[in-house]
Structure 1
C-alpha cells in the first residue's frame, strides 16, 4: 500500500512539473515563435544585414524595431547560420520600464504559468536578479526562459526576457564545430608563446 501511494505521489509530482505539462512548453514570445524562419519577421527588424554574434559565430542577430512592440525599447532575434535554414533560435526583449516592479509583475505571471523557476542566475547581492525556467517537450526539444532585472550598467540594465530553443542552438554549434574541425592552421591562428603579456601590471 505504501509503495502504491509513493508511486502515485512521484507520478503526480512529475506530471505537475511545468516542464512536462501539456501547455507548459512555451515557444512564442511577443508574437515571435522559436524555430520559425527569420524571413517571417523581417518587417520587425531594423534594416541592414544581420550581424554574427561575437561569442557564438554560428548565430546571426537582427536588432528589433522598438516601435513595433509596445513597451519594448529594443531587443534582438538570433537565428542559425550554419546548419541550414534561418531558424529563429533566440529572442531577447528589453523594456522601457526599468523598474523592479515590472520585473516582479512578470515574475508573478511566469510563476502562475510555469511554476517555480528551475535556477537562479543572478548575483548574491541582487544587483542582477535572474531566474531561469527550463522546459522539455518529451521529443528532445528544450527551451530555456530567463527573466532578468539588472541595475548593473554593464549587464543589460532594467528588465529583460531571453528565450532560447536550446535544441536548435546545439545543432548550430555542432555544425560550426564540424566545419572548423582541423582548420585552425588553415585560418592562420597563432598560439600563446609567453603569458607575460597577458598578466596585468
Structure 2
C-alpha cells in the first residue's frame, strides 16, 4: 500500500514539475514579446521596412533598429488571423564572438535544459542549437546561432530567434482560406517540356 502511495505521489510531483516547466517557455527578448501587438515596439521599428516574403503574404517582416547590445534584427507579424501580432523575432548580438556564444548557450541551457536539436555544419563555421518548449499557448521555438563563414545569406556573428511555429501555420491557413489560389494559366504549347525550365 505504501508503495502505491509513494508511486502516486511521485507521479503527481513529476506532473507538477512538468506543468511548471511548460509554463516557463520564453516569450520575450530585449523587451520584445511574442503575442504582443506591433504598437508595443513602434519606437524600435525601422520605418517603411515592412515586407511580405515571397509567397508568404500571410506574414509581414519588419526590421528593427539597433539597440543596446544588439545590432538590429527583425520581427514577423501576422497578416490574417493575428494581424499585427508578433509571431517571430530575430535579434543579432553586437558581440559576435564564440566566447559570448558559449556564455549565452550556458545560461540558456541552465534555464531551459538541453536543446532538442543541433543544426550546425561539419565545417564548424555554423553552430545552431534549437530548443522546442511548450506552454499553455502551444510550442515555442528558441534558436541560438553563431556563424563565422563567408555566406552572405547567413547572419554573421551571434543571433537569437524566438517564435511560435503553430501561430505562423495558422496565419498561412487563414490566408489560404481568404485568398484561394486562382486557376493557373496553361503553359503555351511552344513552352512545354524542358524548354519551360531553361533560359532562352
Query: What TM-score does the superposition give when structure 1 sets the normalisation length?
Result: 0.81
Alpha carbons of structure 1 residues 58 and 149: separation in structure 2 relative to 1, 3 Å: same
Matches within 5 A, 1:21-40: 21=21, 23-40=23-40
Matches within 5 A, 1:33-182: 33-54=33-54, 56-66=56-66, 69-137=67-135, 139-154=136-151, 155-182=154-181
> Secondary structure in 2 aligned to 1:124?
coil
Shift of 1:98: 1.5
Aligned residues: 194
Alpha carbons of structure 1 residues 105 and 169: separation in structure 2 relative to 1, 3 Å: same
Larger Rg: 2
Deviations 1:112-150 (A, max 9, x none): 11000011122222221000011111x451110000001
| Alignment gaps of 5+ in structure 2 | none
CA–CA separation in structure 1 for the residues paired with 2:30 and 2:92: 12
Deviations 1:59-101 (A, max 9, x none): 11111110xx212111001101122431100110012222111
Alpha carbons of structure 1 residues 98 and 175: separation in structure 2 relative to 1, 3 Å: same
CA–CA separation in structure 1 for the residues paired with 2:187 and 2:77: 30
Alpha carbons of structure 1 residues 16 and 84: separation in structure 2 relative to 1, 3 Å: closer
Counterpart contact for 2:115–2:130, Cα < 8 Å: yes
Deviations 1:20-65 (A, max 9, x none): 6155211111101101000111111111151112353311111111
Alpha carbons of structure 1 residues 92 and 136: separation in structure 2 relative to 1, 3 Å: same
| Alignment gaps of 5+ in structure 1 | none
Shift of 1:196: 4.9
Counterpart contact for 1:89–1:168, Cα < 8 Å: yes
